[in-house]
Amino acid sequence: MSISNDYEQMMISNIEITCGFGFAYKMKQMCQDIETSKNILNQYHQYCETEQFTSKINFSIMILKTNVWLFSTPSNIILPNKLEHIVNNFNKFYKYLHNGRKLTWIYQHSKGELQTFFTDRVYTLQVSMYQMVILLLFNNALEWTIEKIQDETQIKIELLLLVLNTLIESKILTCTQFLDRDNLDINCIIKLSNDFRSDKYRINLNTTMKSVEEGDVKNFHNTIDQDRIMSIRATIVRIMKLNKTMNENLLIDTVIQQLNSYFNSNVSTIKDCINVLITKEYLERQSNDKDLLCYRA
């Protein structure tokens, strides 16, 4: 194995200790998705050569399983023609490769680079997909109202105002009515800032949208919690299958002891898991002693 593969295995082992086997397994699948994506991208480049599909846009992609990766629901947006052409071509290729599978494009985690030709010198802007879609509109017209930008892109208005604020504050765009981030409305006129200057030739404007980030972090923690609950239930069943009958408090202590090297499980969660397993008829309480649990074969 390579050094990077050794490090990857060590990282996954540490995650298994911290978060449990279920989450470590998902992390392993994530790493596999990344490697698979590299192979698919190579196949796509060969496909483009065979089909004589040419584009001046350098394009790369990652194919990630929805049941493994924790992304919030993407917003539908209208892409510029050149980008839509590439997306449609890849969809066609992927359908040929895996008929029956469906791709969902996660635009909130997509990014790219644009070059400026309206400034005194050429800059390379590193931008999010939302920023890119907005900036490319200025190839078609020199000024836009926010209402018209929203019509052309279909970016949700709350998100659109947030993205426009980042571009105005970075001085790429300008708005004569702009006073502060709460001042923008749909009638404001947005223009390119022709006097834009920077000491850097490459400028990173790709700031993570807080609302998107919070949604994905919430999904991340929810998945860890669910994996831990399933681990607790499996541990309870394993212990009870071995012992047949057991005092509830002793069972709770045993579960905590067995899972302690993986994660800290609290008593209330374990009790909830016991009640769920009773409802599902894996366990039952003794009629003459409610603290005594029995395993139902």
pLDDT at residue number 141 = 94
- The reply to whether 9 and 96 lie within a common domain is yes
- List, as own/partner pairs, every contact residues 164-173 make where C-beta atoms lie below 8 angstroms and the sequence separation is at least 24, other chains included: 164/134, 164/190, 166/131, 166/205, 166/207, 167/131, 167/134, 167/135, 167/205, 170/203, 170/205, 171/196, 172/125, 172/135, 172/196, 172/205, 173/135
**235 domain-assigned:** yes
pLDDT at residue number 278 = 92
**105 domain-assigned:** no
pLDDT at residue number 266 = 87
Please say whether the beta carbons of 137 and 128 come within 8 A: no
Give the domain CATH number at 172: 3.30.230.130
- The reply to whether 201 and 217 lie within a common domain is no
Domain region containing 226 = 213-295
pLDDT at residue number 108 = 87
Number of structural domains in the chain: 3
pLDDT (tens digit, 9 = 90+) per residue, 22-52?
A: 666 777 788 888 889 999 999 999 999 998 8
**Which one of 65, 100, 135 terminates a domain?**
100
> What's the whole-model pTM score?
0.66
**Which one of 185, 207, 229 terminates a domain?**
207
Distance CA 245, CA 37 (A): 50
- The reply to whether 189 and 238 lie within a common domain is no
**Which one of 179, 207, 235 terminates a domain?**
207
- The reply to whether 6 and 91 lie within a common domain is yes
Distance CA 271, CA 38 (A): 45
**191 domain-assigned:** yes
Using 70 as the pLDDT threshold, list the residues of the chain that sit under it: 1-24, 178-182, 207-224, 297
pLDDT at residue number 152 = 96
pLDDT (tens digit, 9 = 90+) per residue, 155-174?
A: 999 889 989 989 998 999 99
- The reply to whether 197 and 277 lie within a common domain is no
**241 domain-assigned:** yes
**116 domain-assigned:** yes
pLDDT at residue number 183 = 72
- The reply to whether 16 and 94 lie within a common domain is yes
**141 domain-assigned:** yes
Please say whether the beta carbons of 131 and 111 come within 8 A: no
pLDDT at residue number 72 = 75
pLDDT at residue number 130 = 94
Cα dihedral 208/212/218/224 (nearest 10):
-70
Give the domain CATH number at 286: 1.10.10.10
**243 domain-assigned:** yes
**152 domain-assigned:** yes
